[in-house]
A and B are shown apart, each in its own frame.
Chain A
Amino acid sequence: MSYCVHCGVELDRWETKCPLCQTPVIDPWQDKNSAPPSERNLLSEQPEKTFNKRLFVLLVGVLLLIPLVTVVIINLATTHTLTWALYVLGSEICFWSILVLPLNCSGRSPYLYVAIDTAVVALLLFMIYLENSATNWFLPLALPITLLSGLVVSLIVMIWRSDRTVKLRKTGWSVWVIACFLIALDITVTHYLINAIQLTWAWYAALPLQIISIVLLSVSYSARACDWLRKNLFM
């Protein structure tokens, strides 16, 4: 029999450390080869996962098909051609690829999903453009903004997937990327509207964000500043 040198309690023969203080049991006379009885060698129980992802994806697919088929029939019956039903088709493809697809293909690279989502959104906008092509808005405006958004999301994903960086620094870089995105967005929109490369409203949004990101990044790179913040702002 073994006793814990700290707690003074006798320990069960099969304990390798004291359950009360975690002190290891060192008993040179204990037979280490003998196996514990079955009631001391039990497995842990966990419920089986009952969420069936494939079934869920199938159900959502069927649920999306019902309104789609309905609007296609109505559209064809009223105008004899597919017009506004294409919007529903595009929206449903977007919904499916953004929310449902990642559920069914867990473990794949998130950049793949971002690329697919960007392509699907571009496709939806292109469908809308085909139906409403009075002005040329797709190539100079919609496509660059969609690609920019895809790029920004990929960059933020890359920042947050990095294991070595602290959260504060990740937030700082993410805010900086968003500020850059707003500047690029403003330039794209202004270029489309007045055919000139200049900043209009982005100053008001991007400047505070840039300041915030600089503060966050400087704090994150300074151990003293981090300590000061932790000490004074803990909740």
Chain B
Amino acid sequence: MTEHYETSPDQKVTEDRSAVSAVDWFRLDNAAKIYPPARSRYWAPMFRLSADLSEEIDTDLLKTALDHTLARLPSFSCRLRKGFFWYYLERIEGAPAILPDVNNPMTYFNAKDNKHFLFRIRCCGNRLALEFFHAVTDGSGGMTFLLTLISEYVRLRYHETIPTSGHVLSCSDPPKAEEYEDSFLKYARKETLSRGERPAYQPQGAEMSPFEVSYIYGNVPTEALLREARKHNATVGEFVTAVLIQIAAGLQTAERSRTKRRLPVKVSVPVNLRRFYPTKTLRNFSSYINLGIETRLGSYSFDEILVQVKSAMKSQITEKQLNARFSGNVATERILPLRATPLFIKDPLLKLFYNMQGDRYSSLSFSNLGRVDAPEQLQRYVKQLDFALGPANRKRCACTCVSFAGNTRFVFTRTFEGAQIEREFFCSLVKRGIPVKVESNRR
């Protein structure tokens, strides 16, 4: 069955694949433009998607599945190149080596060690993990790659074909040009909206040594979390954001000395723009909003914070608002003097801009991939999914969450000592009657 499959679909899609292969380079999308200058020799902005399968992974079959998946999703087979004015992505052949998993993932990334691929694949026991450099894709695109890879692996290993749906694509289908279009450019309009914001409070703590990072994982039954959110007439995203804001505000109050002024407490929430546009792109297509409270106006109860979050989400997560925001970024990218500036000048300036401005306007980030609907056949082979952000280049705490098969997994990434945020977050869930199971990478 395997042999039959491996030959016939290839023949079927040769024409389409060659059409896509003809595009041997493409420009970085609007959101990705900042990431190459932001990275350093050892560090890059990354995120990780991993899956615990029901049985130990056969790496030989995984290699074959990876080859098929890369042929189906060619926008992931690329390396970063420097042009005279901008970075660009160039198609490359082959596949990255399958690496063993590590205890401190994403603390170090250098594409040269990875055959120039901008994503890394790791495997250990029954865990399969993909770590993406953010210039290639966002969480949604990465999840499509992961689930397509797993479904192809399941097909090779168990001879069971997984039906395509949502994030699961069929490797027998041809690659589609719309999957690697720059949707920012396509949907940007003339009207723009600037983000005039005050810098936000940053949680403090002693910095960990280089290449050290804390990942704390919390497993929560989705049903219990949903029930609690509904009790407050909110979505899970709104509820968790409000809890995080309350925790950060509490930290600021505890840390504040007389000389320090009160800064707003804000949580940065990425928004998947695919909800608003008929796009199939697997490259970056998300924006973000900063939601929070002005702590100088007084202390807020949880209900007050939740009301603020809900109203801000309702008013800001609309097609018009989001479009105006990313259109502003696209308009900046189109400024002629900026475009005409050579990369060797632009590169350090963008790095400086990222280091100075990057994370100043939010106290924490909360990235919610939401519920991942995989076909029932696939759910038999996947026990759990994880989504984690890599450490930032400055002291920072990030929370991510993904729901799969009745469980919601929270992952807190932190590069400073002190698990105050995680502790208060999980304890607040326990106090609300939601059972939490915790594990970490630092034992």
Contacts and interface: CB of A to CB of B under 8 A. Distances in A.
Interface of A: 4, 7-12, 14-21, 37-39, 42-47
B423 interface: yes
Contacts of A39: 52, 101, 124-127
Contact of A47 (B110, B438, B439): B110
Contacts of B125: 37-39
Given A39-B126, A46-B211, A7 B103 contact: no
Given A9-B427, A10-B436, A20-B427, 14 more contacts: A9-B436, A12-B438, A14-B443, A15-B438, A15-B440, A19-B422, A20-B216, A39-B127, A42-B102, A42-B124, A43-B102, A45-B103, A45-B107, A47-B42
Contacts of B124: 38-39, 42
B439 A21 contact: no
Contacts of A10: 435-438
A8 B427 contact: yes
Interface of A is mostly: loop
8 contacts: A8-B427, A9-B430, A11-B438, A39-B124, A44-B104, A45-B211, A46-B211, A47-B42
A187 B42 CA distance: 54
A166 B437 CA distance: 46
B108 interface: yes
Interface string B230-267: 00000000000000000000000000000000000000
Interface of B: 42, 52, 100-105, 107-108, 110, 124-127, 211-212, 214, 216, 218, 419, 422-423, 426-427, 430-431, 435-443
Given A10-B436, A37-B125, A20 B104 contact: no
Contacts of A46: 108, 211
A11 B439 contact: yes
Contact of B103 (A17, A21, A44): A44
B108 A12 contact: no
Given A39-B126, A44-B103, A45-B108, A12 B430 contact: no
B57 to A, nearest CB: 10
B101 A20 contact: no
Q: Which of A11, A16, A20, A21 has the most CB of B within 10 A?
A: A20
A63 to B, nearest CB: 24
Contact of A21 (B101, B126, B423, B441): B423
Contacts of A11: 437-439
